[in-house]
Amino acid sequence: MNLKDIVQKLDLKVVSGDIDKEISAGYSSDLLSDVIANAQQDNIWITLQIHVNIVAVANLQELAGIILVNGREPEEATLKKAEQENIPILLTELSTFEIVGKLYEMGIHGNR
């Protein structure tokens, strides 16, 4: 599934990056080392972390994008870095549980 469709269907606010990319699966965690160990390339990552290192993690793992939950806004440094590295950051008012549920309903599953 394309990130563009997700943005549209779930009404996510795009604050950085190019959203025209395919998503392989989803991963949700607020522990960065856990994401590094278990997320996979082209995953969409759902987290409440907003500091600049989420961009580094997304970059290292070549993730498709990051969804920030609970209406949280990225820090300024995060936004700047995300623009620079072309990592899509998407915002939602929903909680992790809610947004993951909706993604799953749309056919985005975990890594198998």
| 79 binding another protein? (CB under 8 A) | no
Token pair 């209406």 in the structure block, residue: 71
CB-CB contact of 87 with 80 (8 Å): no
Q: Is 49 in the site for another protein (CB under 8 A)?
A: yes
Task: Output 76 or 105, the one with its CB closest to another protein.
Answer: 76
Residue 65 CA to residue 49 CA, distance in Å, equals 13
Q: Is 94 helix (H, G, I), strand (E, B) or coil?
A: coil
Query: Is residue 62 close enough to count as binding another protein by CB under 8 A?
Result: yes
Site for another protein in 6-35 (CB under 8 A): 30-34
Distance between CA atoms of residues 67 and 54, nearest Å: 11
Q: Considering only residues 77, 93, 101, 104, which one is a binding residue for another protein as defined by CB under 8 A? A: 77
Smallest separation (angstroms) from another protein to the CB of 87: 11
The residue with tokens 């920030």 is 68
Residue numbers at the binding site for another protein (CB under 8 A)? 30-34, 36-37, 47, 49, 51-57, 59-62, 77, 85
